[in-house]
């Protein structure tokens, strides 16, 4: 709809992760909570801290984040957005009310306690992205994972954090070999996506660099 409306006005709309090098990229942040059969938010324990289930879900999201990079950054241009200090997370960390963290727990009423997953770019496949985010949260709850302490301050200044894949090729390998991803997505889908992305990677390697952005402009 957005692309069609833009064309009517002689313009082109794109959801590329980083269309302009000098500007902030396009993010696709996701907020989610979980309600039980009575409609109660299970992340709410009546405090700003959040329940044990919230912490377990956070731990699952963090554990799966590096291997999920290919879903959050599915194109070569996606990695132009994932650089330190560019308003997009590069390390797997969580924090309360901190917009430099990959996982943010927003403040506000405990009844609305939720997780904000801030990693994905605007160029993602929303179905795959939601499957991986919610699947990772479920694994955290099922396995009763425990997250590290919540980070504070500028997350970009913290050393030693697990990192998202640095480039497209590394992201494909991490995704394909991950035991956690294998518990979230079907084996055939993992193999198909990895093969498709390797084919795309090879195609762009044979294409002049100055034409890359034109391909992504139309694709995302």
Residue 1 located in a structural domain: no
Per-residue pLDDT of the chain (220 residues; tens, 9 = 90+): 998 999 999 998 889 999 888 888 899 999 999 999 999 999 999 999 999 999 999 999 999 999 999 999 999 999 999 988 778 999 999 999 999 999 999 999 999 999 999 999 999 999 999 999 999 999 999 999 999 999 999 999 999 999 999 999 999 999 999 999 999 999 999 999 999 999 999 999 888 887 888 887 777 7
What range defines the domain where residue 165 resides?
A: 28-214
Phi, psi of 35 (to 5 degrees): -110, 150
Helix (H/G/I), strand (E/B), else coil: 94: strand
Q: How far apart are CA 169 and CA 187, in angstroms?
A: 19
Distance, C-alpha 195 to centroid of its chain: 21
What pLDDT was estimated at residue 216?
79
**From the CB of residue 165, how many other CB atoms can be counted at a distance below 10 Å?**
23
What CATH code is carried by the domain that includes residue 54? 3.30.590.10
How far, in Å, are 52, 72, 210 from residue 3 at the CA level?
42, 22, 23
Say how many domains are in the chain: 1
Phi, psi of 54 (to 5 degrees): -60, -45
Residue 195 located in a structural domain: yes
Q: How far apart are CA 187 and CA 181, in angstroms?
A: 9
Tokens of 120: 């994905």
Helix (H/G/I), strand (E/B), else coil: 4: helix
What pLDDT was estimated at residue 213?
80
Residue 138 located in a structural domain: yes
The answer to whether the CB of 100 falls within 8 A of the CB of 87 is: no
Q: Among 113, 115, 136, 129, which residue's Cα sits nearest to residue 60?
A: 136
What pLDDT was estimated at residue 101?
95
What pLDDT was estimated at residue 86?
77
Residue 106 located in a structural domain: yes
Residue 56 located in a structural domain: yes
Residue 32 located in a structural domain: yes
Residue 9 located in a structural domain: no
Tell me the helix, strand and coil percentages in the chain, rounded to 5.
45, 10, 45
Residue 82 located in a structural domain: yes
First-residue to last-residue Cα distance in the chain = 13
What pLDDT was estimated at residue 144?
98
């Amino acid at each position: 709809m957005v692309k069609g409306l833009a064309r009517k006005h002689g313009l082109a709309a794109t959801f590329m992760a980083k269309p302009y090098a000098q500007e902030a990229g396009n993010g696709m942040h996701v907020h989610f909570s979980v309600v039980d059969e009575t409609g109660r938010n299970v992340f709410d324990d009546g405090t700003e801290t959040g329940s044990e289930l919230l912490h377990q879900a956070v731990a699952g999201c963090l554990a799966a984040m590096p291997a999920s990079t290919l879903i959050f950054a599915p194109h070569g241009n996606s990695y132009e957005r994932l650089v330190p200090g560019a308003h997009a997370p590069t390390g797997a960390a969580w924090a309360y009310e901190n917009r430099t963290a990959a996982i943010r727990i927003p403040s506000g009423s405990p009844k609305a306690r939720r997780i904000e997953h801030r990693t994905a770019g605007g160029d993602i496949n929303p179905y795959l992205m939601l499957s991986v985010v919610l699947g990772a949260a479920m694994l955290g709850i099922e396995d009763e994972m425990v997250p590290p302490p919540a980070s504070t301050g500028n997350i970009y200044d913290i050393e030693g954090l697990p990192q998202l894949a640095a480039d497209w090729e590394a992201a494909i390998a991490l995704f394909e070999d991950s035991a956690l991803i294998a518990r979230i997505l079907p084996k055939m889908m993992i193999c198909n996506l990895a093969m498709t992305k390797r084919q795309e990677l090879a195609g762009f390697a044979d294409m002049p660099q100055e034409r890359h952005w034109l391909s992504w402009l139309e694709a995302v």
